[in-house]
Amino acid sequence: MRVTRFIFGFGAIPGVLHAQAKQAGAPADIPPAAQQIAAAVQALPNEYREGAKVLGYRAGTKGFVTLREGTGPFTCLASDPAGKMFHVACYHQTLEPFMARGRDLRASGTPDNRVDTVRFAEVKSGKLQMPKQPASMYQLFGGTVDPATGIAKDAKPLFVIYITGATGATTGLSEKPSEGTPWIMYPGTPKAHIMLTPKM
């Protein structure tokens, strides 16, 4: 499933994705904070947009910075100005330890293919906590970015519900990628999650 791998960073973009966007050096042509915020929260249902915390980019800094503090249950990641395509993601606050740890590991130089090895070991040892209840993440990717707003028209949605340790047997869902129906990705692992992809 090429699109799925691309979005979640198993190759091209380190997942945020699972919102784990790579903390690359900030390019010169970074959109204004307000524009990054407006674009990032588009991934969320309307009722969660105003209160979402937003992490994005600022000239002269490396990696994510807080563009707006939040009062609601979601944190959104702005699209990387240096990225090859538009991609924003918003995840539930209960996922913050897992997501923040991924960002920290990458910032310290841990290779992408080792990030989950470290995190999974830390979850097993109890050092890193995963949500005890299902936790959602909303994403938008692709489309054509409007330079005036920073929002991508015709961006494709991708919905994820994390259920640590879930498998096909425990949920009744397939473990095989399937367009238009839910399925389990990374079954049996700390970051097992239900994928809902309206169109791939």
- Other CB atoms within 10 A of residue 185 CB: 19
Q: Quick check: 50 and 73 in contact, CB under 8 A?
A: no
Q: Could you tell me the pTM of the whole model?
A: 0.84
Distances (CA, A) of 92 to 44, 75, 96: 11, 7, 7
Q: For residue 165, count other CB atoms closer than 10 A to its CB.
A: 13
- SS3 state at 51: coil
Per-residue confidence (pLDDT) for residue 200, from 0 to 100: 52
d(C-alpha 64, C-alpha 140), whole Å = 18
Q: How does pLDDT run along the chain (200 residues), one tens digit per residue?
A: 333 333 433 222 334 443 444 444 444 489 999 999 999 999 999 999 999 999 999 988 888 999 999 999 999 999 999 888 999 999 999 999 999 999 999 999 999 999 999 999 999 999 999 999 999 999 999 998 888 888 888 899 999 999 999 999 999 999 999 888 899 999 999 999 999 877 65
